[in-house]
Amino acid sequence: MSVMAKNARPLLCPSAQPQMQEAEVIGVQLRQEGVAHTAYLNARLPVTEDLLEQTAPLPPTQVLRFAARCEEARCRHFDGKDCRLAKRIVGGLSPAVDALPACVIRRSCRWFAQEREAACLRCPQISTYLPQRDGAIAELAEPEMV
């Protein structure tokens, strides 16, 4: 049985791809000196083809941060109960902020449901756009070989 948010809705992945089920934009990806930082939106924004086209010529994940329904067993990070990516992020990254960022998905976020505030303090530095497969975030994104 999967973990559900308190409101009994399916949990959302805060590190989703735009083509995933029920995808929505939760933030804009800003970059300073090559480091990503998410500026969160204050309302949910459904993904549309028109919206994705507006990021061209850049890939949507370089410009926007997405959330979508957690794919659980279909995701390489899911271990049958928890998101291993959330665990690795909390264990492997220092907090990016000192206070919980404003977040429109917190009550239904898998990372928050699982890792609580520790995940939220690290979340702004997460990007699904990793052009170079090096660095701490790229290393954490690779699932362990079991």
Tell me: pLDDT of 145 over 70: no
pLDDT mean over 17-34 = 91
How far, CA to CA in Å, does 125 sit from each of 3, 11, 65, 146?
25, 21, 11, 27
pLDDT mean over 119-134 = 83
Q: Two tokens at 123?
A: 């979340």
Tell me: pLDDT of 133 over 70: no
Share of the chain above pLDDT 70, in %: 83
Q: What's the pTM?
A: 0.84
141/46: higher pLDDT: 46
Q: What is the model's pLDDT at position 35?
A: 76
3-state secondary structure of 34: coil
The confidence band for 74, taking pLDDT boundaries of 50, 70 and 90, is: very high
Rounded to the nearest angstrom, the gap between the alpha carbon of residue 41 and the centroid of all alpha carbons in its chain is 14
Q: Is residue 77 part of a domain?
A: yes
Beta carbons of 140 and 85 less than 8 angstroms apart = yes
The 10s digit of each residue's pLDDT in 32-63 is 877 779 999 999 999 999 999 999 999 999 99
Q: Which domain holds residue 34?
A: 12-141
Q: Is residue 82 part of a domain?
A: yes
Tell me: pLDDT of 123 over 50: yes
Q: How many domains does the chain have?
A: 1
The 10s digit of each residue's pLDDT in 87-111 is 999 999 999 999 999 999 999 999 9
